[in-house]
Chain A
Amino acid sequence: MPAPSGTGIAERVAVGQVADRVGASAARPDGAQKTRGEFAFSSDLWMDAMLWGKTLRSPHVAARIRSIDTRPALATPGVRAVVTAADVPGRPTFGLEVPDQPVFASDLVRYHGEPLAAVAADHPETARAAAMAIVVDYEPLVPLVDPDVALEAAPIHPDGNVFRHLVIRHGDPGATGDVVVEGTYEVGMQDQAFLGPESGLAVPAEDGGVDLYVATQWLHVDRDQIAASLGLPVERVRLYLAGVGGAFGGREDVSLQIHLCMLALRTGRPVKMVYSRDESFFGHVHRHPARMWYRHHATRGGDLVKVEARIVIDGGAYLSSSNAVISNATCFAPGPYRVPNAFIEGYAARTNNPPCGAMRGFGAVQACYGHEAQMDKLAAVLSMDPVALRLRNALERYDRLVTGQVLTGAAPVREVILAAASHPLPPPADPGGSILALPGGAGATAGPGDVRRGVGFAVSFKNVAYSEGFDDFATARLRLETGVDHEPVATVTVATAEVGQGFVTLAQQIVREELGVRRVVLAPASTVDVGSAGSSSASRQTWMSGGALQLACSTLRAELLVRAAELWECAASQCVFDEGEVVQAATGERLSVQDLLSPAPLETEQEFHHRPTKALDADGQGDAHVSFMFAAHRAVVDVDPDLGLLRVVQVATGQDIGKAINPVQVTGQIEGGIAQGIGLAVMEEIVVTEGRVRNPSFTDYLLPTILDMPEVLATVIEEPEPDAPYGAKGVGEPPTISSGPAVLAAIRDATGLPLTRAPVRPEDIALSHGETT
């Protein structure tokens, strides 16, 4: 096949500096292409004679489907196929953990926007018009939208309304403290809002299978779900990673994958589908809304005695990853503190609200809003400094969590707290400064003199990688050969989804570190050439795919030593690897990698598994997690109390990362994660009324802009994690967890209002003005 036009930069990208090793801020290999608009995202795919797909979605929240008449769509000129539930060749349902979600609704609609049919046509506008022409006879039903009610209500799905009920009983249930604080908190539904819309191109293959080019977080698990619904063996469903425009959890679940493949197989032609932004809001799962009740007990001196909590998350209509999200919310409910006694209940409920699943921070975010508000309440009751109270109770290595697990890894909780607290505070607001610096920005009507400033603090922790006994692994294939110019070339083949996080950079750094090879080529990620990498989620790829690649490198290094030993007729144990060469210890003789590659290339495929974890028992006890990441955030916020407008002035953070493999990328993860944390605290919410999504657009669902983002001051704590390759724990999620709760605390500090709900809306402040408790 001829190369696509406009690239031709393979060489430049492949050659790095040997100095770009682990610990260096190496540049992204795809960065230059991305700045030129040459990097092909999933929405940029194109083939001759391709068709355009479009999904028909339910306008109802809950309804019985009496009939679907696709004939008007089929009669539209330019329409090539219409598919519905009746056309699903294999398993009619899909799902990450349990296949409880219909590919297309057939008898019941369970959420606003559930897909009913898909159309393929010559032009996207034809496909859209044809989808609208499909006649569906609905009998609307009363939707079940309250998760607490749903737990007891008649089931709206054969699997019932309780996805999971989890209890943690730890220590003495009767323990009580000298002081008790109690509170109820709520978190709204956040959207991942990755900028690259869901999109892909499905191409029918000659073997009766299908090739799908798609933006996703986990190719192999998509493949398995698609193959099951297509009724095809997995070998005939080949997935290739197309350029991914962000993910943040929102691409863990299947969205358009099965629909696209069905249309391609039905028409025998390539089919492209690109969700519009409003469809994207309906097309992927969101962050679970949560309701949380907490009661903290402490001694008069400020030692935590017991935490009681009840957390209910709304999973929406289908399971997705709700079971793991509620597990996290429950396990991390107390925050990163020593808590000798606990009784915590977690519920994940099925409702007729939009399905919820993975989003950066995954359960720990919601819980953090609860436990950190409680810590502030406790500090107030005890007349203690909130930071001092947190330091006093901070977890340390070898402490026991409420799940009974002992913290055997790095636990620099005190260090992250002290780092966040010791950054300089911003100068006071400049009364003569730009109006853009006032709460509300350019639209401000606040008098600068009325603005109040608050400071808030929050600390969090979360697991790395998959938990509760899941056999979590990643695969990497590595080939070493001599290039045309006689330089060794390393080719890395992994199915790791590069979603923007920069694993592609780390992969090159790891190979350069381990083998001293300059030219590191990254082969396309697919299900065809290599085993699963697992998901690009749970902050796990640095550890997992990084670990697999490190293992592959050390395997090939050992083989290079064997080759050298054969040439020198000595034992391999007498050879060492040094700066890209093999050295014979006794003689000091050296052989370069290219010398050793001349007989034949070397190749290996390695699987890396993290230390096994265990299931939680009936009391929620067990070594369920492999490792924990800690972070602290301090936020400074200016508030216009009359209008409820806000400006986050500064966020300072200390974050436990183990090791910065690429410091600039670490900074990017921290700043980007904090932006999403701030978003949830002050502006981002999918507004759902009686199950209906009311703001599916970037006009009505607000994301932080560059004017909303404060100065970020970050300190990373590099205490190596014993189990992790290079000691690196993972970095993506912690910035999104406690940054928002710190912002909320700062607003409480500025206003004196209780503010128990995130995001804070202007009316929560303006309408409560003067009602401070």
Chain B
Amino acid sequence: MRLLDVLGFATTALLRHRLRTVLTLLGVAIGVMAVVALTALGEGARRYVVDQFASLGTNLLIVLPGKTETTGGLPGFGGAPNDLTLEDAEALRRGVPGVRRLAPVALGNETVSAGERRRQVPVLGTTAELAAMRRLQVRFGRFLPAGDLGRGAPVAVLGAKLAGELFPHESALGRVVRIGGWRMRVIGVMEARGTQLGMNMDEVAYVPVASCMRMFNRTSLFRIVLQVGAAAELDAAKRRAVAILTERHGEEDVTCITQDAVLNTLSGILGALTLALAGIAAISLAVAGVGIMNVMLVSVAERQHEVGLLKALGARRRQILVVFLAEAVLIALAGAGAGLAGGWGLVAAAQPLVGALHLAPPPWASAAAASVAAVVGVVFGVLPAVRATRLDPVAALHGR
């Protein structure tokens, strides 16, 4: 018996009960559609996060004080780590191969005031190069001056929102603000940026790193950010950075993370989430399989005479099995086709509604959903088909 004949025979049987066939394949279609739509959402979210991270800057290496890996707990747990100093930063700039940019970062919270207006904000001490690495744009004036590592000029750059709140009616440029007890001249205002890594960049006051450390009486930097030319150089840079600081401190007491590692972790988590969504959606395919089994059992019962006849005509058991199995698989495949069309259509229709999130149905999900549907057709079609082959020909012919 040829494949084309099997399909032809199965198709005529399915077309005989159009409504029933369509309703059954609808179950499969909904399952496949759910897989496509949910994975599109998950993958869209993953890409969104990845893009967000990429906008933070690429090929970044971040050094923070304290060793998280070995203690497994908070940085510095069980003994204060050595300070991460400006001298350390300079040593890294000299010693790490492939460094293109480097910026030390100090951080504190302080009240910033201009006349009567005052705001409690994060104060971020750094150098000129941070703006380029973090892709921070200046709106008015300029960012922190270059070549000012140790001196700490009394200047500040304000985040967009902070500038607007302190100076609602005039330009902040050239005005003096008080940060704690320190008078700083505003030399720049940043472009609105939104939240980066949980910090609202529009509320930050940037000051030279030395000023910041003096202001908060800090001996240690919050972190040092380095940028290398290419992702391939990150590993070597990381090893070298750790080696340099270990030598300077006499012990390995810093943590060195790459942006890529963070990104990979997050991307992995979101990828797993997408997979979980696909799995949950796939459960509905199993439910659809039960529907297929049900309809096929009814079909076999209804067509007992036909089975008896086929046996009288000399059809082999395996042929009868294949014919009924083909019906189940055809239902599943037609459902999968409809589900894929519906899923992709749904995603296209929903795209305008979600805006920033770019819905992207991953091809693997569509392929997997269609394959699972086919497998479901086979698995849930076997029992009814086997039942057909087991019918006693005489009893089947006479409908007993």
A and B, one complex?
Answer: no
Give me the interface of B with A, judged by CB distance under 8 Å: none
Chain A interface (Cβ within 8 Å of chain B)?
A: none
